[in-house]
Structure 1
Amino acid sequence: MRRIAIVGAGQAGLQLALGLRTLAPDDYEVLVVSARRPAEIRAGRVQSTQQMFEPALALERALGLGLWDAVAPRITGAELVTADPPGTRALTVTGTLRAPAQSVDLRLKTARWLELFEERGGRVEYRSLTAGELPALAAAQDLTLVATGRGPLGELFGRDKRHSPYDGPRRTLAVVYLHGVAPQPRLPGHLRLIATPGAGELFLIPGLTLSGPCDMLLWEAVPGGPLDRWHQLATPEAVLARSLELMRHHAPWEYERCAGAEPTDAGASLVGAVTPVVRHPVAEVAPGSHVLGLADAVVLNDPLAGQGCNTAAHCADHTLRRILDRGERPFDRAWQQQTFAGWWEERARHSTAFTNLLLDGAPEHMRQTLRAAAGHPEIAHRYVNGFADPADYREWLLEPERAAAYLAAVTGRPPGP
């Protein structure tokens, strides 16, 4: 029986661990190292907004992990509003998803997955692993994977300058989960995005938290801009109060829906920032001993494009298939490099390219595309569904020439202002 250790108990690490215990329980002894127990996770702070689209959800369901399908609100589409000037609907793009998405609070999800992993015969060590302890752990395993990019463990994987154009955060982030948001009868089940050029974005996402269905607010503020007002806000009540203040000016139609809302619990907010980075996937922790990074440990994107948990799910699936196909052959450095390269080509590079395009401010050809989408449902449908499969954007959106050719084919005229 081969021994595999996974450091980190998030989307990628637990999905991979559960996949191994589900598909080949007699072939792999799987250890997960988690810094927190399920009860601590449930009692902690929210981690993200984690909307997941159908391709990623299908990977979970194939492993018996779609535990919230019957209770999680169905995200059936998206309404994207450009507010220019602030507080004014200048442009609206609405699209329906081919299959519903969902957002399940990671406190709820990862806590239950940890319990399920142990129920399926996996072993968990509940402790904070230091970088200095990693060589001993790796020496006792056939394969060790690091599925957390936080702190010194993430720093083991050196920054890949070719794919890491940023040396600091491109957005300041604030999240708060709410009960009591008034329903939107016109487009029930739709994710909402309000983008104010030069200032940032506001997302309102139907979701499921510990206490039931909720609405998740995510602010993406351009540093130093008018939405960047989240520093030193320590409580959900403070984040909600600041949210309402900003919404009254920047999205008054959403302020009206949220004015009577309240935080779902004492841990229902998070404020911070992310520096997007792509790291080298393999770290040598001792002479001849290598560990492989997974998901956010090696490809960390800003949540603006909603790719984090989706990319992590695809990373776990790709790595799972590679492990099962390897048989008794060693998980050497070359195999680890090839495993990352396959995931990068299949998914991660497309998520990264699209996210970075949005972070840098939509270029003119993309603004032309969104203007066309407002009047052409076919374009709106393709744009909204690209969030589920960002590889499609490469075919028609990321490059000006391809975007122009696509718009001309759909609209019958060259793109213009």
Structure 2
Amino acid sequence: MRKILIVGAGQAGLQLALGLQSHGYDVTVMTNRTAAEVRDGRVLSTQCMFNTSLGHERELGINFWEDAAPKVEGLGVSVSGPGAERVIDWVGELDGYGQSVDQRIKMAGWLETFAQRGGQVVIHGVAVSDLDYFARTYDLVLVAAGKGELVSMFGRDASRSPYDAPQRALSVAYVHGLGPRPEHDFKAVRCNLVPGVGELFVIPALTISGACDILFWEGIPGGPLDVFGDVKDPAEHLRLTLELMKTFTPWEYDRARGGVELTDAGGTLAGRYAPVVRNPIGELPSGGLVLGVADVVVANDPITGQGSNNAAKCAAVYLDAILAHGDKPFDRDFMQAAFDRYWENAQHVTKWTNAMLAPPPEHVLNLIGAAGQLPAVAHRFANGFDNPADFENWFYDPEKAGAFLASVAPPQP
């Protein structure tokens, strides 16, 4: 039986561990927190997973919260004008629903399931010196912990990383009590664009205390949304979140007038990081090799909501690659080939995300505006969140954008 070590217990690490376990591999997961510590801690992310990524969980039978989590059936975009009025507002329906499950619930539950099924869980912080030993005792070591010392083993790929500094200051609040959007009677992620300031995303989700909404500000560094860095008090974090909504997205603030409250004391998060693509293979002092997973090697800004989706897709690709490799050694060629297969999808996410961080060119503004009059444009944009590769066919190039708009425009009398 082949022995595999996975360092990190997030979406990718645990999904891969459970998948390998189901195929009879001897898998160890190392993480620095117990399931109880994860469940009782602060929120970890703003995850919203779309149909393809949810399918990978269904295939493994680990979609434990699918019946409980709100079904996200659409994705809407609003754009704020100079007077904080909505100058664009539309929603596109998704072909398959998405869902957002608080990772405190999911990761704690998956870690417990892995252990109950006979997997070995080691609660211990891992340093590079530890991996030097483990690389000699396991057939394959995968690093799925995207922060800390271990990430330094994976060098930045400058050719795929146009930004060397954070492009957004991030702020999250999980809340109860937000009213529905009056424009539609189904759950939808709402993307509110405030030109020159940043973005507000409102995401229906499931948390420890039930259904909730995630209020997620992405602020241009140094701008009016970049005010959460020194805030430690959760109540002050929520007050600032709502105050900024009232100023910049009053139509979303109207949903909060009935009174909103944090889901729990750990329901806030703030931070920032530079988007980066790293080399997938880490070389240890002894010459041993480890393979980077998901955010370790491709860390995009969350503006396009792809972090958990990328993680699920990476885990699925790596699972297939490991199973197909049989008893052959997990050498450098295997590691590079596995990452290259993952990059076939991830490159489209990185290109799209980096494009959305920059001021939009005129043809993109035209597309976003046209979606308000042409349902086919809204539908295609919304479903690009599940299949970002499709943006290559109509979004980036002005000529392709124009051809697409012409193809869906009503005939002139």
Alignment counterpart, residue 202 of structure 1, candidates 195, 200, 203: 200
Distance in 2 between residues matched to 1:231 and 1:6, nearest whole Å: 32
Q: Deviation of residue 408 (structure 1)?
A: 2.1
Stretch moving more, 69-78 or 225-234:
225-234
Distance in 1 between residues matched to 2:122 and 2:246, nearest whole Å: 47
2:50 and 2:309 in contact (8 A); partners too: yes
- Output the amino acid matched with 1:277: V
Alignment counterpart, residue 49 of structure 1, candidates 46, 49, 72: 46
- Output the amino acid matched with 2:294: A
Query: What RMSD, in angstroms, separates the aligned Cα atoms of the two structures?
Result: 1.3
Gaps of 5+ in 2: none
**Residues 327 and 234 from structure 1, CA distance in 2 versus in 1: closer, same or farther, beyond 3 angstroms?**
same
SS of corresponding position for 1:103:
coil
Distance in 1 between residues matched to 2:209 and 2:137, nearest whole Å: 41
1:235 and 1:269 in contact (8 A); partners too: no
TM-score (norm 2): 0.97
SS of corresponding position for 2:284:
strand
- Other-structure match for 1:358: 356
SS of corresponding position for 1:243:
helix
1:304 and 1:359 in contact (8 A); partners too: yes
Distance in 1 between residues matched to 2:49 and 2:313, nearest whole Å: 11
Distance in 2 between residues matched to 1:238 and 1:227, nearest whole Å: 14
Distance in 1 between residues matched to 2:128 and 2:147, nearest whole Å: 11
1:169-188 matches, within 5 Å, as 169-187=166-184, 188=186
- Other-structure match for 2:62: 65
- Other-structure match for 2:158: 161
Q: Deviation of residue 300 (structure 1)?
A: 0.2
Q: Deviation of residue 86 (structure 1)?
A: 4.8
Distance in 2 between residues matched to 1:324 and 1:86, nearest whole Å: 56
Distance in 2 between residues matched to 1:255 and 1:203, nearest whole Å: 12
- Output the amino acid matched with 1:224: G
- The question of 1:328 aligning with 2:342 is answered no
1:298-377 matches, within 5 Å, as 298-345=297-344, 347-377=345-375
Q: Deviation of residue 399 (structure 1)?
A: 2.1
2:7 and 2:29 in contact (8 A); partners too: yes
- Other-structure match for 2:4: 4
2:132 and 2:286 in contact (8 A); partners too: no
Gaps of 5+ in 1: none
TM-score (norm 1): 0.96
Superposed CA deviations along residues 367-391 of structure 1, whole A, max 9, x for unmatched, are 1111111110011100110001101
Alignment counterpart, residue 150 of structure 1, candidates 138, 147, 150: 147
Distance in 2 between residues matched to 1:86 and 1:148, nearest whole Å: 43
- Other-structure match for 1:282: 281
Distance in 2 between residues matched to 1:86 and 1:236, nearest whole Å: 30
Aligned-residue sequence identity (percent) comes to: 48
Distance in 1 between residues matched to 2:405 and 2:179, nearest whole Å: 37
- Other-structure match for 1:389: 387
Distance in 2 between residues matched to 1:268 and 1:86, nearest whole Å: 31
Distance in 1 between residues matched to 2:78 and 2:207, nearest whole Å: 26
- Other-structure match for 1:134: 131
